[in-house]
Each structure stands twice: as structure tokens, then as C-alpha cells.
Amino acid sequence: MTLVIFLAALIGGMLIGLPICFALLFSGVCMMLYLNGFNAQILSQNLFSGADSFSMMAVPFFIMAGEFMNRGGITKRIVNAANAIIGHVRGGLGYVAIMAILLFASMIGSAVASTAFLGAILIPMMVRAGYKRDTCTGLIAAGNILSPIMPPSVPMIIFGVQAGVSVTKLFMGGIAPAVYLSGALCVLWFFIAKKDNLAKAERQSAKQVAKALLDGLWALILPVFILVGLRSGKFTPTEAGVIAAVYALVIGLFVYKELKISMLMECLVSAAKSSSVIMFLAAAAMVSSWMMTVANVPSIVTGILAPFIEHPVALMLIICLIVLLVGTSMDVTPTIMILTPVLLPAVKAAGIDVAYFGVVFILMTVLGLLTPPVGTVLNVACGAGKINMERMVKSIWPFLLAEVVILLLMVLFYFSVPLIVRYYLGEQYYDCIRLLKVMAPMIFLVPASIIMSNYILLPFGYRKYFSYIPVITAFMHFFYAFYLSKNYGAYGACIAILLTELISFMILLVVNLKLHTFKYIFGFEYEPR
């Protein structure tokens, strides 16, 4: 009955137009009245404790860093650098948009906010270049799901506080899925660009590319600096937020000189407004979370999900469906606040790693924002792209389908590795499961790369590509493999191998697409070389 009261109060409050934070407070008060009667002291204590967290202090600093990056010219230079490198290829601005989202949007903290901000910059730029408005709007909307999982990520900080798991561990766990998703979007965009016959921009000279990279060097260093510092343990996520804000401020004021002293107050006010919304949501969610704990709601939900606890794959798929449905009507932050304390006991009972669940869970919440009929990111993208919802739904579905496939593969890979180890290798190799989970995608990457090189490029006579690609990837592997292996042992070595195979696969795919070899395979005439 308590769960029914909570859902009725929450949904009812939202239906009558209450903001989500007040709807959360209202649901908490309703549960309080049902259980023990109203107590203002309990309400105020939980409101305060919801925002009173050292890790949550990172939120306003990362948002402030985003404001300084935007107004200080850092964002513009990231876009310019990416455009100089790949802007000349067919559909180049699409790849530029994906790179800009990866490097910048995570600082904003909200998929909705990043869609509005980057959509306002990139969609008009792409339309002027001759791109279809519907297609580029769909790409921007779908690309912004990368923002909550690419570190530094505000949603991961919130989940880490709620679930009591290391934020740094979540940050590191979010890198690989972000790479997979961006790779899937790039591959899909390649086919879309070819189908729509998008115009190519003029190739910039080596001097122009070097100038753009040099001009954007300070902007490109920031994400790398934060990731290295977090992974090496030099500073905490909260300290990383402070460093990012100070760095963006200094670069904007004294290097690029686009951020003026007179603009600082505007930046601080804007960051304060955005931060206050998130912090108030965190505080309001703590009231509901505490009341749900008192009412034993997590145990009730665990009991409902009990038939699936012995089957973790089925449990994760059920949770995926629930989160996707909830995500259609809520932004990422309130979804995390509401569902984390409810779902976490069942996840722990099933023996699922909380950090892994956190990464997948956050990805699920953002995918929900792309699903009709309510999807909030869809609505924001419609406004940014100046198209109606019907056109938006038609343009988004290929990108959404690709991202759902990546999500399902993340679930299947995670749970398939222990079964494979037990069946083929035996219990004595069970300690290797952590390493094999990292390398699981190689089950598909390695055979695909072998087929594209040994059985396509070589028979077709492209011996130069067949020889050069392994040399290039091996040379790259030498540098990061040495660093990762030295600092992180076998785990780092596995990451290095996976990264090399992923790079090799992407290069081979692009080369084969450029040479039209796949057309030859399906019956078209060709001339061997």
C-alpha cells in the first residue's frame, strides 16, 4: 500500500503541474502521513542531509566549468579543432558533433540541457552546410546520451552518492561504453551521409589543421588532464570539479581572452541556478528515499523481483524496461534519485556489481529520454531543430536502435563471461573473469577484423592497406600499453589490447567502406588490384 501511495502522490503531483522536486516532497509527506503522521523535523533533517555530501560538491563546480568553457571560447575551439581534422569528409560535421559532445557535454550534467545548448550551436551550422534538418537534429539528440556516461559525469556523481559506490570507479567504467556508443553513431552516420549524399567541405591544409589544433590545445588538454588525475588518484572527483572550473576560468580570461571580468557574475548566476535545481532535487529525493526505507519499499520491490534474482540477465532486462518507461517522462537526475534506493537491494541480492549496474543504469535513464511519447530530450531537440515531434521520431529511431543494441550487448557480455569461463576453462580460472569481461567484445572485434583484412582486402589486391594497418595499430599500442600495464597490471594490459582491437576494427571498417569492397562482395563487378 505504501508503494501505491508513493506512486499515486508522485504521478498525481506531476499531472497537476508540480515541478518534480516538489512532487517528490509531496510524495514523501504523503507517505509520512500514512505511516507515522507528519513530522517537520524529519522533513527538514532529510532535506539538509540530501545535499550535505562532499561528493555532491563536485556538481556545481563541473557546471561552473561548463559555463566558463562556453563563454570563454573553449567549446568553440573544440568544435573548430574537430572540424579541421575531419570536417572535409562526407558528413564531417556529424563526426564533429559527436566529438564535441564527448569532450564537452559531460560538463553540463544534464542530457536535456546539453541537447538545448549544443543543438543551438551545431544544428544551424549543419543545416547551412546542406544537411537535412531532421537527420542532424536526430544525431544531436541521440549523441547527447553520451554526456551522462562520459566522465566527468554529474549523473555518475549523484548515483555514486546514492548507492555508496566509488565515483572514480564509475568514471572509469563509463569510458568504454562511451567509446562503443560513439563508434556505433559514427558508423551509422557514415551510411546516412552516403545515402543522403551529403556535401564535402573543403579540405584544410596541413598548416590550417596545425593552427586549429594549436589554438584548441588548451581546450583539448582539460578532459585528458581530469581523467588522468582521477585514475591516478591525484585528486578526488570533487577536487577535479574545482580544478576544471579554475582551469576553464584561467584559460578563458588570460589565454583566449574571450571571457571578460564583467561576464563572471552572469556565469556564476547561471551555474548557481543549474546547480540549485540538481541540489534541490537531491535534497527532495532524500526525503522520499528515507520514507521508502522506513516503509520497507525496497524490500517489497525486491520481493516482486525475487523470481528473477536467480537469473541476473532476466533481472537486468526487466530493470532496463522499467527504467526506459520511467525515463520517458523524467530527466536523468530525478530518475536516479527515485529508482536507485528501490532497485539497488535487488541488484545486490542478484550478485551484480554495483559499479557496472550504475553505468548501465545511467545509460538506460538517458535512453528513456529519447523514447516517445514523452521523451524530454525529443521535445528539447524539436525546439532546437525547429521541427515537429512526428519528424523528430522518424529521424531518431535509427540512432536509438543502434544505442539499444549496444545496451543489450553490454548486458549480455557481462553475464556471458562467467558461464564461458566455468564451462570451457573450469573453476580454477574463475579469478580471470574480471579481465575477460573487459576483453569480451573481442569475441566480435577480432573475427570481424580478420574477415575485413585477410578475406577482403588481401584477395582484392589492397596489399598496402593490409600491411600498413597492423603496423600503425601496433605502433600506437606500444605507447599506451606500456603505461597501462605498468600502472594497472593485467587489467591495464587487457584494456590496452581491447583498445587496439577496437581501433583496428574502426580503421578496417572505414577503409573497406571507402574502397567499396562490401559492394563487390554482394555481386558488383570489380577489378582486382
Q: Which amino acid is at 445?
A: L
Cα–Cα distance measured from residue 481 to residue 186, given in angstroms and rounded to the nearest whole number: 25
Cα–Cα distance measured from residue 270 to residue 442, given in angstroms and rounded to the nearest whole number: 44
Residues sharing a CB contact under 8 Å with residue 116, sequence separation 6 or more, in sequence order:
380, 383, 384
pLDDT of residue 524: 47
DSSP code of residue 529: -
Alpha-helical segments (H) within 350-388: 354-368, 376-385
C-alpha cell at 13: 503531483
pLDDT of residue 233: 66
Cα–Cα distance measured from residue 218 to residue 81, given in angstroms and rounded to the nearest whole number: 11
Given a contact cutoff of 8 angstroms between Cβ atoms, the answer to whether 456 and 513 are in contact is no
Ramachandran angles phi, psi of 395, nearest 5°: -80, -25
pLDDT of residue 486: 78
Nearest to 405 by CA among 521, 320, 284, 348: 320
pLDDT of residue 284: 75
Nearest to 395 by CA among 140, 191, 183, 180: 140
Given a contact cutoff of 8 angstroms between Cβ atoms, the answer to whether 280 and 21 are in contact is yes
Residues sharing a CB contact under 8 Å with residue 295, sequence separation 6 or more, in sequence order:
2, 3, 6, 31, 35
Nearest to 28 by CA among 343, 337, 369: 337
What Å distances lie between residue 75 and 37, 99, 122, 228, 528, CA to CA? 51, 11, 11, 21, 46
Nearest to 415 by CA among 317, 505, 286: 317
* Residue with grid cell 540541457, as numbered in its chain: 113
The DSSP H or E segment spanning 395 is: helix 389-420
pLDDT of residue 183: 82
Alpha-helical segments (H) within 197-331: 206-215, 217-232, 237-250, 264-294, 297-304, 306-309, 312-327
What Å distances lie between residue 72 and 67, 253, 272, 286, 307, CA to CA? 8, 7, 18, 36, 54
Dihedral angle sign, alpha carbons of residues 322, 328, 332, 333: negative
C-alpha cell at 115: 541537447
Tell me the pLDDT tens digit for each residue of 454-489: 888 888 888 888 888 888 888 888 878 887 787 777
Domain boundaries, given as residue ranges, for the chain: 39-427, 441-521
Cα–Cα distance measured from residue 74 to residue 215, given in angstroms and rounded to the nearest whole number: 10
Given a contact cutoff of 8 angstroms between Cβ atoms, the answer to whether 291 and 10 are in contact is no
Beta strands in 36-144 (DSSP E): none
DSSP code of residue 337: H
Given a contact cutoff of 8 angstroms between Cβ atoms, the answer to whether 147 and 153 are in contact is yes
What is the distance, to the nearest Å, from the Cα of residue 220 to the centroid of all Cα atoms in its chain? 18
Show pLDDT as tens, one digit a residue, over the chain (529 residues): 666 777 787 778 777 877 767 777 887 788 788 777 677 777 777 777 766 766 667 677 777 877 787 788 777 777 777 777 776 777 777 887 887 777 665 555 566 667 766 777 778 777 877 788 888 888 888 887 777 777 767 788 888 887 888 877 787 777 778 878 888 888 888 888 878 777 666 777 777 778 877 887 887 777 777 767 766 667 776 777 788 788 888 888 888 888 888 888 888 888 888 777 767 766 776 777 677 667 666 666 667 777 788 888 888 888 888 887 777 666 677 778 778 887 888 888 888 888 888 888 888 888 877 776 556 677 777 777 778 777 877 888 888 888 888 888 888 777 776 666 666 666 666 667 667 767 777 877 888 888 888 888 888 888 888 888 888 888 888 878 887 787 777 878 888 888 888 888 888 887 887 777 776 665 544 444 4
DSSP code of residue 198: P
pLDDT of residue 104: 64
What Å distances lie between residue 497 and 180, 183, 291, 427, 501, CA to CA? 15, 17, 47, 24, 6
Q: Which amino acid is at 218?
A: W
Provide the 3-class DSSP secondary structure of residue 110.
coil
Cα–Cα distance measured from residue 231 to residue 228, given in angstroms and rounded to the nearest whole number: 5
DSSP code of residue 56: G
What Å distances lie between residue 265 and 71, 99, 164, 271, 399, CA to CA? 12, 30, 35, 10, 39
Tell me the pLDDT tens digit for each residue of 213-252: 788 788 777 777 776 776 666 777 677 778 878 888 888 8
pLDDT of residue 353: 83
Cα–Cα distance measured from residue 224 to residue 488, given in angstroms and rounded to the nearest whole number: 18
Dihedral angle sign, alpha carbons of residues 45, 342, 24, 269: positive
Nearest to 87 by CA among 105, 74, 72, 100: 100
Angle between helices 389-420 and 312-327 (to 10 degrees): 160
